[in-house]
């Protein structure tokens, strides 16, 4: 999930433990904080799903990391309550 300030991958390890790994998408805390008050973040604070293999392919192709980490805008995210 590309949340905007961070990109995270969630999975279960072989023992069934839930794990999250993440990377910061902005070089400074100030830039991440500025993103968190944008209309785009307010409209969709959850984030955007991504395909990890596609992300790796983009990186290996030489695409700049700032482009890869930029969250695509999809508008409001419809999350069903469980």
Residue whose C-alpha is closest to residue 70's, from 25, 24, 23 = 25
Would you tell me how many other CB atoms lie within 10 Å of the CB of residue 73? Answer: 13
CB 40 within 8 A of CB 73: yes
Write down the mean pLDDT value for the chain. Answer: 92
pLDDT digits (tens, 9 = 90+) for 11-45: 999 999 999 999 999 999 999 999 999 999 999 99
Residue whose C-alpha is closest to residue 10's, from 43, 41, 52 = 52
CB 48 within 8 A of CB 81: no
Residue whose C-alpha is closest to residue 40's, from 68, 2, 9 = 2
């Amino acid at each position: 999930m590309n949340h905007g300030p961070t990109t995270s991958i969630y999975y279960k390890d072989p023992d069934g433990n839930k794990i999250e790994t993440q990377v910061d998408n902005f070089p400074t805390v100030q830039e991440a904080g500025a993103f968190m008050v944008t209309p785009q973040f307010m409209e969709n604070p959850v984030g955007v799903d991504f395909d990890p293999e596609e992300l790796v392919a983009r990186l290996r192709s030489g695409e700049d990391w700032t482009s890869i980490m930029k969250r695509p805008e999809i508008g409001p995210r419809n999350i069903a309550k469980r």
